[in-house]
Structure 1
Amino acid sequence: MKYLFIVAFSLISLFSSAQKSFKTGDIQLDTDLNEINARANLDFGAFKTDLSISYDISEKKIEFMHGSLSMSPGDIYVALEISKISKTPIDRVINVYKSHKEHGWGNIAKELGIKPGSPEFHQLKNNSKKMNKNNRGKGPKKGNGHRNKNR
């Protein structure tokens, strides 16, 4: 029992330390972005491909955002969503991010015309929920299951 408690406490500590504060001004949106982070970190290649197709952006640009700018998958996703919703070029969103990232995505969104409580902000929240819902159960493929190897 004592061992189980120690393992559980260690896992809780590990999970809570992995949480990132996106500072969107909305707890549910922050939670959704952390879920996006967790899933994308399991298979960043698939995440990158999905974003490239969904937002018509090159995988090279996504790699730049992730590597050179140290943006987490959640940061990349919300930057692309804000770009799409506000009809702002992604390079402008990135520039605002670089100069305002310490204030969080809520401030960045407001700077780009998405006000808290606005229809655009609700769209941002709803889209992050859909992103998570669509990717539930997706993860790295595992083995061949119970297929007959003699076929």
Structure 2
Amino acid sequence: MRSHLRAEYLVLFLLTCALFVPGHSATAEDLAWSSPLDLRAQADPLDFQSQLRMRFGTNDAQLRMVLGTTHRPSDAYLVLRLAELTRRPLPIILDSYRQQRPLGWGALAQSLGIKPGSQEFHALKAGDDPWLRNFTGSPHPAPGHGKGKGHAPGRGHKPEGRFP
């Protein structure tokens, strides 16, 4: 009986501690392309919505559903991009977004079948979408011309680019 009470107190203590640990979320905020997208979208929300409709072929009701569920413009883009990459309906993507949000965008992508290290995973992380680069005004580095540290290939440096 006494060990049972200890276990309950331990669980209660851990749950209380979890309330004070800052949570990570399944938002796009830790992706390099998210801040420029959020800034541009917040500066002109109507243009952002119009461009999302054109880019993803969504109707007004679908877009309202996505924007009403997500917390930031970059999250809305991420949800729509995940629906495109996985070919799953938006309600399923949004349900996963709600459930996986505390675990991070990588867990969200993985829960939808996008494997870490896959071409789709790298495309999401890098913002490898011509529309996104155009909307944010971000140039996309050519393969091998990314954020390398200047080491020559063969010296422990793996050249950056679209493909591993």
The normalised TM-score by structure 1 is 0.65
Deviation at 1:64, TM superposition (A): 2.8
Give the unaligned 5+ runs of structure 2.
Answer: 1-23, 138-164
- 8 A Cα contact 1:23 1:103, kept in partner: no
Give the unaligned 5+ runs of structure 1.
Answer: 1-19, 138-151
Distance 2:111 2:90 in 1: 14
- 8 A Cα contact 1:37 1:74, kept in partner: yes
Deviation at 1:35, TM superposition (A): 1.5
Distance 1:121 1:101 in 2: 17
Letter aligned with residue 82 of structure 1: L
Q: Between the two proteins, what is the percent identity of the paired residues? A: 27
Q: Deviations over 1:3-36 (max 9, x none)?
A: xxxxxxxxxxxxxxxxx96566x95xx1201211
Q: Deviations over 1:97-116 (max 9, x none)?
A: 11111112111100001112
Q: Which residue of 1 aligns with 2:44?
A: 43
Letter aligned with residue 62 of structure 1: L
Q: Which residue of 2 aligns with 1:91?
A: 91
Distance 1:31 1:21 in 2: 15
Q: Which residue of 1 aligns with 2:162?
A: none
Q: Which residue of 2 aligns with 1:59?
A: 60
Q: Deviations over 1:24-69 (max 9, x none)?
A: 6x95xx12012111110111111111111111111332223223x2
Q: Secondary structure at the match of 2:32?
A: helix
Distance 1:86 1:80 in 2: 10
Match runs of 1:1-150 below 5 Å: 30-67=31-68, 69-128=69-128, 130-136=130-136
Letter aligned with residue 49 of structure 2: K
The normalised TM-score by structure 2 is 0.60
Distance 1:53 1:132 in 2: 12
Higher relative contact order (CA 8 A, sep 6+): 1
